[in-house]
């Protein structure tokens, strides 16, 4: 349908998992893709070629999303290369799990900086661009644990809850300029990280999900496409769980 034809999407942490699925989905709908990762090696170069197979322009940028100055320099490079940024997907994220009583300051700071501060960095950098265009869609990749909390993931849950509050605040600040901001809260999604869980653990999780299956990165990518496109032109400041009903 080419729902994103002529648009440029910036996706952080797009080399694998959910971020990669979003990049491929957007490219299949006509969007040019700029994506970031800590380093651009053969995996990222391979993704560039795969995306270009859809007949669009794609380029990866080595960038530490948690570094304020580096983030702004990256956005400048993207603007020089693409000329516009219509969609921002704040997808970069890590886990450093542990019970609160044993969690180190480093574990806390790493997760908050990469998961939450990075979103602030990129939103801050793209806001002047989108304000000038008087149009834009910002998508923060939260999590169901950002809505409910989770034992052993205080840092991760806090960072993902912060992404919800950030999206809602940005929606209120920038809505009059035609810029929308929303969050997606994935549940149990099979990625490289969750794919290593033992089969019995996965089965226990599935029992808690009303749809009785785990999700795929493509499930999240489909909702991302909806929020990035004009199909959601009257939706902002919202959180959409993609979790098979496990948050009920």
Q: For residues 97 and 102, what is the distance between their CA atoms, to the nearest angstrom?
A: 10
Q: For residues 11 and 3, what is the distance between their CA atoms, to the nearest angstrom?
A: 17
- Within 10 angstroms of residue 81's Cβ, the number of other Cβ atoms is 13
Catalytic residue among 26, 82, 156, 188: 156
Give the containing element (helix H, strand E) for 79: helix 68-82
**98 vs 22, 25, 67, CA distance in Å?**
29, 34, 25
Half-sphere exposure for 78 (CA within 13 Å, toward CB):
31
Q: For residues 91 and 211, what is the distance between their CA atoms, to the nearest angstrom?
A: 25
Active site residue 156: yes
Q: For residues 231 and 211, what is the distance between their CA atoms, to the nearest angstrom?
A: 25
- Residue 58 phi, psi (nearest 5): -140, 140
Q: Which residues are catalytic?
A: 156
């Amino acid at each position: 349908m080419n729902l994103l034809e002529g648009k440029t999407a910036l996706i952080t942490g797009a080399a694998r998992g959910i971020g990669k699925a979003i990049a491929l989905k957007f490219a299949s709908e006509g969007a040019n893709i700029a994506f970031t990762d800590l380093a651009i090696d053969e995996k990222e170069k391979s993704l560039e070629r795969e995306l270009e197979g859809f007949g669009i322009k794609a380029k990866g940028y080595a960038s530490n999303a948690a570094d304020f100055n580096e983030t702004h320099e990256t956005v400048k490079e993207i603007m020089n290369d693409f000329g516009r940024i219509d969609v921002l997907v704040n997808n970069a994220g890590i886990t450093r799990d542990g019970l609160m009583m044993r969690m180190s300051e480093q574990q806390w700071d790493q997760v908050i900086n990469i998961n939450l501060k990075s979103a602030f960095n990129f939103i801050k950098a793209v806001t002047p661009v989108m304000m000038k265009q008087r149009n834009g869609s910002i998508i923060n990749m939260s999590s169901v644990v950002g809505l409910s909390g989770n034992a052993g993931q205080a840092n991760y849950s806090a960072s993902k809850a912060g992404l919800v509050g950030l999206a809602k605040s940005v929606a209120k600040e920038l809505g009059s300029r035609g810029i929308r901001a929303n969050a997606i809260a994935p549940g149990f999604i099979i990625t490289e990280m969750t794919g290593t869980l033992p089969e019995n653990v996965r089965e226990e999780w599935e029992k808690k999900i009303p749809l009785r299956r785990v999700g795929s990165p493509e499930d999240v990518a489909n909702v991302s496409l909806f929020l990035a496109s004009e199909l959601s032109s009257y939706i902002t400041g919202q959180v959409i769980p993609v979790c098979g009903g496990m948050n009920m």
